[in-house]
Amino acid sequence: MLIAGVLCVCVALLMAVLGLWSLARPADTDTAALVMRSVAPPQLAAAIMLAAGGAVALGAHHGSAVPVVLVCIAGAIGTVAAGSWQTARFALRHEEAPARCVGSCAACTLSCH
């Protein structure tokens, strides 16, 4: 469990640094910058989950630590996957909005920018 704990803590630190780096970037109206900033909250949440899993792996008994570490890892992966999915959907809608809003915005179902 020592190896699993150290790996979880290292990956948690990496995810936290990436999330904070994404938040520290300037807020632009560019779609790529918006996508990078919107992925940061799931990255930070995954970092917290992995840090908790690493702490349990380093401090608890082997029998009780294994299920907790597995749940923390699965939760972190699921959180990042769901956040990436939502961000990709947002990016696609953001890129398609000007093409659908040609002419009058009264007929457009999306908000025109």
Mean pLDDT of the chain: 85
Gap between the Cα atoms of 113 and 27, Å rounded = 17
**Statement: residue 79 has pLDDT above 70:** yes
Tell me the pLDDT tens digit for each residue of 7-16.
999 999 999 9
pLDDT of res. 58: 94
Tell me the pLDDT tens digit for each residue of 82-99.
999 998 888 888 777 665
Reported pTM: 0.78
- Return the DSSP state at 111: P
Tell me the pLDDT tens digit for each residue of 14-47.
999 999 998 888 777 777 778 888 889 999 999 9
**Statement: residue 101 has pLDDT above 70:** no
Q: For tokens 């749940």, what's the residue?
A: 71
First to last CA, the chain: 52
Sign of CA dihedral 76, 81, 84, 86: negative
- Asked if 84 and 42 count as a contact pair (C-beta separation under 8 A), the reply is yes
Q: Where are the domains of the chain?
A: 2-99
pLDDT of res. 54: 95
